Amino acid sequence: MEEVCVIGVGMHRFGIWRDLPLATLARTAGRAALADAGISFRDVEAAWVGHLHAPAMKATLLMKEFGLTGIPVTRVEAASATGSVAFREAYMAIAGGHCDVALALGLDKFTDLTGGQAPRQRRDIEATILPVAFFAMWATRRMHDRGTRPEHLARIAAKNWNHGALAPMSHRQPDHRITVEEVLASKVISEPLTAMMCCPVDDGAACAILARKDVARRLQPARPLVTVKASVLRSETYTPGHTFLGAVVGPAQMTADTARAAYERSDIDPADVSLVHVHDAFAIEELEYYELLGLCRPGEAEALLESGATEIGGRVPFSTDGGLLARGHPGGPTGLAQIYETVQQLRGEAGKRQVENARIGLCHLVGGGSVCCINLLQRE
């Protein structure tokens, strides 16, 4: 397997962009990534484009916005993990020796959907229960089992909103410091989750360009190299007595198994991770992932949160750009937005939200509760 580096990242800020066509979002993110990499589109040998709701063939049509160079273009879809999987496919193509430079692009416009709401074409019980209700039940269960309080969830949300205020590409950029009390006082969506504990409906695009390590060194001799140390994709594993938890939340064990595989492949210990991005569409998720990613032992998530360890300046900051809660979650580009932020952090280019001595970043997303993708990046 060839070693692979991220040589360019770009984004269109996440937000409500009803008057902007999808092509504008894609061009902005893609051109920014090409400029960051210091290459032209002619240098790209293959592309993977991720989206959830755009029509068939939209991926190929959008790549024509950059040029007609004959490269293979493949559409990727894995629900919330779409961007992460597009990144993984580009990584695997280079690592496997099939190309030297590849592009991963994610995009979506959730505000183009009916009334700005997520589509309601779900199966069985999912047709009547919205995602927030599934995660509210997850939160209620933890409150029963672990003694979690609404204040814990509010603290995560307030932290991420305040991180988002420091990130230019974040959808939610409050003009004042968000407090736990403010989060708790916001409208209840599905008890115990309030509106400020839930991600927004928005639009956006994000892009990453990857290259073989020797190509990256040649193109960017003066810039710190950001290497992909592991990229793992898993689906649900059957065990005796297994209960399917639904395609929205999914089994917690799937994240634990994916994380274990990523650590083993990269020879990285959880204690070595400098910063983390997770599927925090709802505040309860971040709390659960503290434990499932091996950053603390079962039952210690609340104590880790209370210690301030997951804030910027703490031992292992989570969602340094606000995560899904504040940066936003348009679906297709979310995983690549995590890559964008992680690369900036590892290069030391994150400005006011910079994590001191950032060396290793972990990006985690689940897709529809049925797949989990983890990418581990390291500054050389």
pLDDT in tens, 235-290: 988 877 666 555 567 788 899 999 999 999 999 999 999 999 999 999 999 999 99
How far the first Cα of the chain sits from its last, in Å, is 18
Round to whole Å and give the CA distance between 286 and 277: 9
Q: Give which of 94, 126, 80, 41 is closest to 282, Cα–Cα.
A: 80
Round to whole Å and give the CA distance between 362 and 339: 9
> Reduced to 3 states, what is the DSSP secondary structure of residue 347?
helix
> Reduced to 3 states, what is the DSSP secondary structure of residue 213?
helix
> Reduced to 3 states, what is the DSSP secondary structure of residue 33?
helix
Distances (CA, A) of 213 to 7, 95, 248: 9, 10, 37
Q: Name the CATH topology of 4-113+202-219.
A: Peroxisomal Thiolase; Chain A, domain 1 (3.40.47)
Round to whole Å and give the CA distance between 72 and 123: 33
120: which strand partners? Answer: none
pLDDT value for 116: 42
Answer yes or no: are the C-beta atoms of 167 and 353 closer than 8 Å.
yes
Distances (CA, A) of 87 to 156, 252, 370: 27, 23, 18
Round to whole Å and give the CA distance between 278 and 294: 13
pLDDT value for 115: 47
Q: Are strands 371-379 and 226-235 parallel, antiparallel or unpaired?
A: antiparallel
Tell me which residues of the chain have a pLDDT lower than 50: 114-120, 122, 125
pLDDT value for 168: 97
Per-domain boundaries in the chain: 4-113+202-219
Count how many residues are written for the chain: 380
pLDDT value for 251: 83
Distances (CA, A) of 359 to 86, 128, 248, 342, 355: 23, 44, 32, 10, 9
